[in-house]
Structure 1
Amino acid sequence: MTPPTPLTWLYVPGDRPRVVAKALVCGADVVIVDLEDAVAPDRKSYAREATADLLSSPHPVPVHVRVNALDGPHARQDLKAIAALPGLHGLRLPKVTSAAQVIRIAKTTVAASGGAPALYALLETALGVEHAHAIAGAHPALRGISLGESDLRADLGVRADAGLDWCRSRIVVAARAAGLPPPPQSVHPDIRDLEGLAASCTHGRTLGFLGRAAIHPRQLPIIERAYLPTEREIEEAEEIVKAATREQGAQALPDGRFIDAAVVATAHRTLSLASRR
């Protein structure tokens, strides 16, 4: 059976094992143990050791690890410590700017474990966004791309949120062109602003994103609710699929709406997501 499409990806700091343990039972679709930004320099070794201990056995919830900067002193140690462990479902690579980086990490992890774990590239700079399609198609082990909007905002000097919309669309298109799943949105940094989170998710959905990364469990139900289809969308999808089953080829519904293969495919995707409700 194909696992459900992840909608919520929860970041937790790797140097706080108790927080990680709570995250594993809080309802997130994927838990991302962060060894990079969430961990102070003098805590890197401890975070790595604690994460290796966590990944010594599998967990019911998929666990990903965001390693340290690929060009820094810690990434090699991170990969050596965790790449071959049975509890690891995916590696998240920060600040990727080229396809060559993805290929190098894929080869490194194959050498360490005999088979590359799933890789996910975070594009957090102007250069990364410019190379989005090349990165997305760099290696079969790469299973997804997404934006790191905090660093990207700083790199571009963008102040208004709308200033990132072109980059967001670029990532969505690059993922689709490379045959990857729709990317999840970047985190909403204000954990108290649930109304703003909901509005931002609604906007992200219109751009083609699917799901979102979070930094606090209270954000998870907001994200899931925003990305699950509404009752009306489910009804419309069911109507389209039924009409397509009755007749083949392009046609119009009784209310005049035109449906063809693309519309039917969208309806099937909607019903697939609806099964999570």
Structure 2
Amino acid sequence: MRSYLFVPGDRPERFGKALAAGADVVILDLEDAVAAPNKAQARDNVRRAVDDGAQVMLRINGAGSQDFIDDLALLHGLPLRGVMLPKAESVGPLGELAEVTDAPVIPLIESALGLWEVMTVARGPGVERLAFGSIDFQVDLGCDGSDEALLHARSRIVLASRVAGLQAPVDGVSVALDDEAVIAAESRRSRALGFAGKLCIHPRQVAVVNAAFSPTREELEWAARVVAACERSAGAAVSVDGAMVDLPVLLRAQNLLAMAG
């Protein structure tokens, strides 16, 4: 799963466009994108869309609010691709989610406390992978959104995901809507750090994100050469393109080919 596209839960006229945008996952949003007076209507919109067959993820409201309680009621028996939990900072809300749904959960790490407790959150019930709420995180810390300022947080989320045995995490949104070069550069940086996907806030971002998190033709050609050389060598030492191939290199090549389907 490379691209996760948000669409406001109170804008049902946008659901169809989002589902047709080519994103790997569409997230109907009940949290930040929906004003307080529209929360109840947004829940009704979500239920109708899912009842009509929409395959979506749902971002619910943060724990400790009445909206979180109302969202838990909505989740009973609702078939979803997953649930995104904002402001994840402890295991408690994950336990509450586990009582009402068996959908996989993606906690959003978007505060100092969330990053401090990231390993506890990563090992919580139902957690499939983590996501980085980079915008909220920089507001909470009072830092800028530069690569340097957020490098520690990103690296720690990737590390915690690996140690906890989760799927590779999802990086935060890009605020660039029309600058494909910026979106591509941010996505490549995320992939280089160990992220496997990125949150999107506009359909125009999806294709760029998908391309950045997919193996390139050159990578696939290299991977095919590595696998073929190892098969021919029958376990003997082998080199490809002037470089020695050991087990980690072979595994990387096999993973690239698996990513390509």
Which TM bucket (shorter chain)?
over 0.9
Of 139, 142, 145, the residue aligned with 1:157 is 142
In structure 2, how many angstroms separate the alpha carbons of the residues matched to 1:160 and 1:135?
24
Q: Secondary structure at the match of 1:144?
A: coil
Of 210, 214, 222, the residue aligned with 1:224 is 210
Alpha carbons 2:225, 2:240 under 8 Å: kept:
no
Shift of 1:103: 2.1
Shift of 1:223: 0.5
Structure 1 residues 81 and 230: alpha-carbon distance in aligned structure 2, compared to 1, 3 A threshold:
same
Matched, 1:104 2:96: yes
The aligned runs of 1:187-206 (5 Å cut-off) are 187-206=173-192
The aligned runs of 1:65-104 (5 Å cut-off) are 65-86=58-79, 88-104=80-96
In structure 2, how many angstroms separate the alpha carbons of the residues matched to 1:82 and 1:68?
12
Cα deviation, 1:37-91, whole Å, max 9, x if unaligned, reads 00011111110111111112433xx3000001111110111121234123x1211
**Corresponding position of 2:16:** 21
Shift of 1:216: 0.8
In structure 2, how many angstroms separate the alpha carbons of the residues matched to 1:256 and 1:17?
55
Alpha carbons 1:124, 1:148 under 8 Å: kept:
yes
AA aligned opposite 2:259? L
Shift of 1:249: 4.4
In structure 2, how many angstroms separate the alpha carbons of the residues matched to 1:20 and 1:205?
28
Alpha carbons 2:135, 2:145 under 8 Å: kept:
no
AA aligned opposite 1:92? M
240-249 vs 123-132, which moves further? 240-249
In structure 2, how many angstroms separate the alpha carbons of the residues matched to 1:98 and 1:248?
49
Shift of 1:101: 2.5
Cα deviation, 1:118-164, whole Å, max 9, x if unaligned, reads 1110011011111111211112x211111101110011111141200
Cα deviation, 1:90-135, whole Å, max 9, x if unaligned, reads 111000001232123212x15xxxxx21111001101111111121
In structure 1, how many angstroms separate the alpha carbons of the residues matched to 2:146 and 2:78?
39
Identity of aligned residues (%): 37
In structure 2, how many angstroms separate the alpha carbons of the residues matched to 1:174 and 1:228?
23
Q: Secondary structure at the match of 2:128?
A: strand
**Corresponding position of 1:270:** 256
Q: Secondary structure at the match of 2:129?
A: strand
The aligned runs of 1:119-198 (5 Å cut-off) are 119-139=105-125, 141-162=126-147, 163-198=149-184
Alpha carbons 1:249, 1:260 under 8 Å: kept:
no
Structure 1 spans left out of the alignment, 5+ residues: 1-5, 111-115
Alpha carbons 1:249, 1:261 under 8 Å: kept:
no
AA aligned opposite 2:216? T
Of 1, 4, 11, the residue aligned with 1:9 is 4
Q: Secondary structure at the match of 2:130?
A: strand
Structure 1 residues 166 and 248: alpha-carbon distance in aligned structure 2, compared to 1, 3 A threshold:
farther
Q: Secondary structure at the match of 1:179?
A: coil
Q: What TM-score do you get using the length of structure 1 for normalisation?
A: 0.89
**Corresponding position of 1:245:** 231
Q: What TM-score do you get using the length of structure 2 for normalisation?
A: 0.94
Q: Secondary structure at the match of 1:201?
A: helix
RMSD: 1.5
AA aligned opposite 1:161? S
Alpha carbons 2:8, 2:34 under 8 Å: kept:
yes
**Corresponding position of 1:35:** 30
In structure 1, how many angstroms separate the alpha carbons of the residues matched to 2:181 and 2:132?
22
In structure 2, how many angstroms separate the alpha carbons of the residues matched to 1:52 and 1:132?
31
Shift of 1:16: 0.5
Structure 2 spans left out of the alignment, 5+ residues: none
In structure 2, how many angstroms separate the alpha carbons of the residues matched to 1:33 and 1:252?
49
| Number of corresponding residues | 260
Alpha carbons 2:138, 2:145 under 8 Å: kept:
no
AA aligned opposite 1:94? P
